[in-house]
């Protein structure tokens, strides 16, 4: 889809995620800076040429309205935007269902999106869903999300709770693992700053190899581990009683439950 087909974009919330998405749009030439209005009452920094305002312009109408605020702020901002009527409403609000958005906004199409923070490098994951968006609206959503990383559609909106836990919150869980890996290395005598560099590079390289390998992560783990070797000794600890799988399952379950609670509050 061409830049002209996307039209004018209002970005409501230019914080960590909204700002990262905006940076990628401008850097990738998806939308020219003068076609974007960022609406944020905070101290957000936007790319040169993007208009930053603290309230919706009263005499304009965007083609695309993207909600990138905290879900708890939905009913704070909705009244000022209820009459905007964009061709496409995009929402990255965790837990806020399509029906809840439709009850507050009038739009030609509504598409939910769940990105994660690595979109700032174009290495993110974005899940999309819409129950009835036209092919044109879906193409516009895809064009805006394409520079952000892996983009896939979900047929079942209820999966958004699990996707939010897996890929939306997932980077936070990975960072905790990197921190634990580095701390464990430091506890064994490696200088802390060096342990952190090694831990980050190890996770980065392992993920890159998993992304291109024909083998599953489970197979790759076993290929690293020779019988009676150091890797096998460590894996035996992680695998004992499926300890690591149980911990990660509990982590995702907690995040999924919180997404469901947010959905309930927004209904």
pLDDT in tens, 127-176: 999 999 999 999 999 999 999 999 999 999 999 999 999 999 999 999 99
The structure tokens 């960022």 sit at 38
Tokens of 188: 């064994």
140: exposed, middle or buried (Cβ count in 10 Å: 0-12, 13-18, 19+): buried
Task: Tell me which residue of 57, 49, 51, 54 sits closest to 29, measured CA to CA.
Answer: 49
Tokens of 214: 């024909």
Give the integer Cα–Cα distance in Å for 235 and 110.
45
Q: What is the dihedral of CA 237, 170, 256, 184, to 10 degrees?
A: 30
Q: Are 131 and 157 in contact (CB under 8 A)?
A: yes
Tokens of 7: 């039209």
Cβ neighbours around 31 below 10 Å, total: 21
Domain boundary assignment for the chain: 3-155, 170-262
Write out the E strands in 88-158: 88-91, 110-114, 124-129, 149-153
pLDDT of residue 246: 96
Which run of H or of E encompasses 51? strand 51-53
Mean pLDDT (the chain, rounded): 94
Task: Tell me which residue of 147, 185, 150, 184 sits closest to 167, measured CA to CA.
Answer: 150
**Strand-by-strand arrangement of the 36-39 sheet:** 51-53, 36-39, 9-12, 64-67, 88-91, 110-114, 124-129, 149-153
pLDDT at 26 over 80: yes
The answer to whether 3-155 and 170-262 have equal CATH topology is: no
pLDDT band at residue 5 using 50, 70 and 90 as cut-offs: confident
Q: Report the pLDDT averaged over residues 211-221.
A: 96
Q: Tell which wins on pLDDT, 240 or 3.
A: 240
pLDDT of residue 143: 94
Residues 64-99: pLDDT tens digits?
A: 999 999 999 999 999 999 999 999 999 999 999 999
Give the integer Cα–Cα distance in Å for 72 and 89.
18
* Geometric angle at alpha carbon 137, from 132 and 143, rounded to 5°: 135
pLDDT of residue 4: 54
Q: Are 161 and 263 in contact (CB under 8 A)?
A: yes
Q: Report the pLDDT averaged over residues 190-199.
A: 98
User: What's the pTM?
Assistant: 0.89
Q: What top-level class would CATH report for the domain 3-155?
A: alpha beta
Which run of H or of E encompasses 68? none
Q: What top-level class would CATH report for the domain 170-262?
A: mainly alpha
């Amino acid at each position: 889809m061409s830049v002209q087909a996307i039209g004018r974009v209002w970005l409501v919330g230019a914080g960590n995620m909204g700002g990262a998405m905006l940076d990628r749009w401008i850097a990738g030439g998806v939308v020219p800076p003068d076609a974007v209005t960022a609406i944020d009452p905070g101290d957000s920094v936007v790319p040169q040429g993007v208009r930053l305002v603290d309230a919706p312009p009263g005499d304009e109408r965007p083609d695309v309205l993207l909600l990138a605020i905290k879900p708890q702020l939905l009913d704070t901002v909705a009244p000022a935007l209820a009459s905007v009527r964009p061709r496409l409403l995009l929402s990255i609000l965790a837990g806020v269902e399509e029906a809840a958005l439709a009850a507050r906004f009038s739009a030609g199409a509504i598409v939910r999106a769940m990105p994660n923070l690595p979109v700032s490098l174009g290495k993110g994951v974005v899940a999309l869903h819409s129950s009835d968006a036209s092919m044109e609206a879906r193409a516009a959503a895809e064009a805006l999300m394409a520079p952000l990383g892996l983009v896939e559609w979900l047929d079942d909106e209820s999966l958004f709770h699990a996707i939010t836990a897996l890929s939306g919150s997932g980077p936070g869980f990975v960072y905790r693992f990197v921190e634990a890996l580095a701390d464990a290395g430091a506890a064994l005598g490696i200088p802390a700053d060096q342990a952190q560099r090694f831990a980050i590079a190890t996770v980065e390289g392992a993920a890159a190899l998993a992304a291109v390998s024909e083998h599953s992560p489970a197979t790759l783990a076993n290929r690293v581990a020779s019988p009676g070797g150091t890797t096998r000794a460590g894996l035996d600890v992680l695998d004992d009683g499926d300890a690591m799988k149980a911990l990660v399952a509990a982590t995702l379950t907690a995040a999924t439950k919180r997404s469901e609670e947010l959905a309930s509050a927004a209904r």
